[in-house]
Amino acid sequence: MPENKSTSDAAQRGPVPTPGQTIGPFYHFALPYEGGEHLVPPGSPGSVQLHGHVLDGHGVGLQDAMLEIWQADESGRVVQQVGSLTRDPATFTGFGRTSTWRDGGYSFTTVAPGATDGGGAPFIAVAVFARGLLNRLFTRVYLPAEPEALAADPFLSSLDEDRRVTLVATREAADSYRFDVHLQGEGETVFLQFARHEI
């Protein structure tokens, strides 16, 4: 029996990732874990608060969203420490997870990351999950620094100025930074796309 051409083509291509699918609203009881929003204990030396809202295209906060962050430590070292889903105050894993509140707000307690390579400004990597998103979205949070340092960052400098500002947090106090995630509309946050990831 002759081989089906479509079957043969598929076999040559090998396995391909299946599309993501929307999940939720389960973020508030299935995925967060105790202390997930505290990468370091609140009030500890060198700790900072990163907070804000996840907003839809109309500027309304999403109460059913979840954020994950990954970052380097203060010296720019990318941590490869086990135990991300448990919280030991003496161990910094560089990973945090939290769901949004009723008004779409969120908060992390962490440290200001150091630069991981020469010429790049320090940043915190963010993944956004929300009801209605078929796949998570990726973005970055740059903490405010000298304008020259941000302008010299290879990724930020590749963006138009009006888009670049959507990735820079606002300093509200010496140890507090605000970063709102705009999923659509005016001031939409810049989202990144990686190989084998479909938006």
Q: Which residues of the chain have pLDDT under 70?
A: 1-11, 13, 17-30, 81-87, 118-119, 196-199
Q: How many angstroms separate the CA atoms of 141 and 126, rounded?
A: 7
Tell me if the pTM is above 0.85: no
Q: How many angstroms separate the CA atoms of 142 and 123, rounded?
A: 4
Would you call 190 exposed, middle or buried from its count of C-beta atoms within 10 A (0-12, 13-18, 19+)? Answer: middle
pLDDT at position 6: 54
pLDDT at position 177: 97
pLDDT at position 10: 60
Q: How many angstroms separate the CA atoms of 43 and 117, rounded?
A: 28
pLDDT at position 26: 66
Q: How many angstroms separate the CA atoms of 95 and 110, rounded?
A: 9
The DSSP H or E segment spanning 138 is: strand 137-142
∠ Cα 189 111 53 (to 5°): 30
pLDDT at position 99: 93
Q: For residue range 95-104, what is the model confidence (pLDDT) as tens digits?
A: 999 999 999 9
First to last CA, the chain: 40
What superfamily would CATH give domain 20-182?
Answer: Aromatic compound dioxygenase (2.60.130.10)
